[in-house]
Amino acid sequence: MTQPAPYRVLARKYRPSNFAEMIGQDALVRTLTNAIATGRIAQAFILTGVRGVGKTTTARIIARALNCTGPDNQGGPTISPCGVCDNCKAIAEDRHPDVFEMDAASRTGIGDIREIIEAVRYAPSMARYKIYIIDEVHMLSTAAFNGLLKTLEEPPPHVKFVFATTEIRKVPVTVLSRCQRFDLKRVEIAVLNGHFKRIAEAENAQIDEDALTLISRAAEGSVRDGLSLLDQAIAHGAGQVNAELVRDMLGLADRGQVFALLDLLLHGQLAEALDNLQAQYNLGADPAVVMQDLLDLTHWLTRVKVIGGTPDDVTLPESQRQRGKELAARLGMPVLARSWQMLLKGLQEVRSAPVPLAAAEMVLVRFAYAADLPSPADLAREWKEKGGPGAAAGVAPGGPRAPLGGGGNGASAGLAVSAQPRAVASPQGQLAPQPGETVALAAMPTSFPALVQLAKDMREGILAAELYNDVHPVSFEPGRIELRLEPGAHHDLPGRLIEKLRAWTGQRWVVSLSKLPGEPTLAEQEQAEESRRRAHVQAHPLVQAVLTAFPGAVLDNVREVAPPQPETAEEDAGDGYVTDDIDPLDELD
């Protein structure tokens, strides 16, 4: 009685044996096909990519293609190995004496490379080329790499090297420069879906389209990982596989429930959102996976918002694509950007927390309350419409809300900034000190330069420097300032200025930003005045005479001096500069 053949996992059973069977690597297949067809075969290849995309499989196909002799044993290198000649069979069964496959993760030393160096001198025993396949080549030691360099650069004509690695950056550049490099990309979800569907049909397994999509997503571009998951799903469902079964097997959240959860959070319905998370957790969903799905959904909605139109992700059902389009249309970019940042930080917390569910619930609480915060554009609009900062305050989750993301695409002409006082205002508008508090108030500044001087007197050097260099005054009156900031100025400058003025003067101040050009900054005004003074002095005949008498001399500095007494000097009418009886050279540096 014959024993049944042992079961072979799908990842091995459906491993490609020629270039035509490879999927998702069109550029690599085209290059190798043309190289073999034209005889332009490199002396060494290096294949890089994530796990399971076909690096070792490609190396074995190259070995077969170079050593295939055809069914009549008269053929040469071919892009389509026959699979029936002795060389093809021996390579497929891992028993060919001229094809050496070495795992660099377990054989990392110079001694292992020395064996290769000694063996390459001898001709192959039965094949056309000796093929050395070194997997995970980045694991070799520095000495091993150095020992391989000379042989790798000038190998005998009957030797070919094929390296595979997942960490291309760890391979020395001296090795990379001697190899022809191929980057194997992740296989797209749609391509994986079609591939897995064909294999499921060959295995007589019934699998839903949604289940295939879930497996393809979980594979993350790796064919081998996807086939392993497909193998597990077929065994788990006894040949009948649906999306619910795959979701339970992988601990995934229902995509529709993720849509519902995000919608609840954005509307501030915290209690319903927590119930949704608990229900998914009870069905086996990992809290970290739920956070990841929320993060992915936020990214997808942002792309839909930016690109516009109907989302074209064929891996999603039409109902979810339409739902995503509607949700993206209602959300503003500030809301999406804030959601991304909060979920990204929350995902890290959930992964590191001792109780992931509790951490996920806290993330949802923060998210729901932050969803009620108005955007800067909303603040500016409500300030202009209602005339007060209290109108911009948010509401608690569960209460009435304004439309989501309103104003996210607009911009206000100016943003008024104010601060809530910590003391009670008197009827005259001056703040009364709190009990036990003694306040020494400064005089109200009546001009913008006086404000800068007040900041200096109060020893606020940084604030004074910012006002001097980065602020264009638009209008100034006691209690109200309108200004424009330089592009590189700190955006919190108005708020800090309000706090300081309230503390210095004891009165409320309103500082608003404007798009009007305003006056030049004080620094620009001083520079312009200095330029005018220098031009006036340099045009004086005496200065011109000095500069002519001393070639190469320059006017370095101009200083004002006190006017002399009328009996000893005459003043130049109208400008205040001494030009007659005092030697100008005494005042020029």
State the pairing for strand pair 416-417/510-513: antiparallel
Give the angle 494-496-500 at the CA atoms, nearest 5°: 115
| Mean pLDDT of the chain, nearest integer | 79
Half-sphere exposure of 118 (CA within 13 A, CB side): 6
pLDDT of 374: 64
Which amino acid does the sequence have at 314?
V
Does position 435 have pLDDT exceeding 90, yes or no? no
Most confident of 50-54, 137-141, 444-448: 137-141
Q: What percent of the chain has pLDDT over 90?
A: 11
What pLDDT score does 383 carry?
A: 66
Residue 404 has pLDDT above 50, yes or no: no
CATH architecture group of domain 189-250? Orthogonal Bundle (1.10)
Long-range Cβ contact pairs of 521-530 (< 8 A, separation 24 or more): 521/468, 521/469, 521/470, 521/471, 521/472, 521/486, 522/448, 522/449, 522/452, 522/467, 522/468, 522/469, 522/471, 523/468, 523/469, 530/558
Tell whether the model's pLDDT for residue 249 goes beyond 50: yes
- Is it true that 10-183 and 189-250 share their CATH fold? no
Question: What are the structural domain ranges in the chain?
Answer: 10-183, 189-250, 255-377, 416-421+440-519, 533-587
In whole angstroms, how far apart are CA 383 and each of 73, 391, 414?
87, 7, 10
pLDDT in tens, 294-303: 998 888 888 8
State the fold for domain 10-183. Rossmann fold (3.40.50)
Question: Any bridge partners for residue 162, and if so which?
Answer: 45, 133
- At the topology level, CATH places domain 255-377 in Zinc Finger, Delta Prime; domain 3 (1.20.272)
Q: 70-79, 191-200, 311-320, 572-581 — which one is most confidently predicted on average? A: 191-200
Provide the 10 A C-beta neighbour count for residue 11.
17
- Binned at pLDDT 50, 70 and 90, residue 566 comes out as low
On the CB side of 451, CA atoms within 13 Å amount to 26
Residue 254 binned pLDDT confidence (cut-offs 50, 70, 90): low
Whether 527 shows a pLDDT value over 70: the answer reads yes
3-state secondary structure of 213: helix
Least confidently predicted of 104-118, 130-144, 534-548:
534-548
Q: What is the mean pLDDT of residues 121-143?
A: 91
Per-residue confidence band for 80, with pLDDT thresholds at 50, 70 and 90: confident
Number of other CB atoms surrounding residue 94 within 10 Å: 9
Q: What is the pLDDT of residue 3?
A: 62
pLDDT at 581 over 60: no
pLDDT at 210 over 60: yes
Residue 325 has pLDDT above 80, yes or no: no
Query: How far apart (Å, rounded) are the C-alpha atoms in residues 350 and 362?
Result: 9
- Report the range of poorest mean pLDDT among 201-215, 255-269, 408-422, 529-543: 408-422
Report whether pLDDT(329) > 60.
yes
Rounded percentage of the chain residues whose pLDDT exceeds 70: 79
The whole-number pLDDT of residue 326 equals 76
Average pLDDT on 480-491 reads 86
Sign of CA dihedral 23, 27, 32, 37: positive
Q: Residues 6 or more apart from 351 whose CB is under 8 A from it? A: 288
Is pLDDT of 33 > 70?
A: yes
User: Which of the pair, 565 or 295, is modelled with greater confidence?
Assistant: 295
What pLDDT is stored for residue 379 in this prediction?
Answer: 64
pLDDT of residue 46 exceeding 90, the answer is: yes
Instruction: Find the angle CA(554)-CA(559)-CA(563) to the nearest 5 degrees.
Output: 130
Res 301: pLDDT: 85
Count of other CB atoms within 10 angstroms of residue 85: 20
- pTM of the prediction? 0.55
Q: Which two tokens stand for residue 133?
A: 């396949």
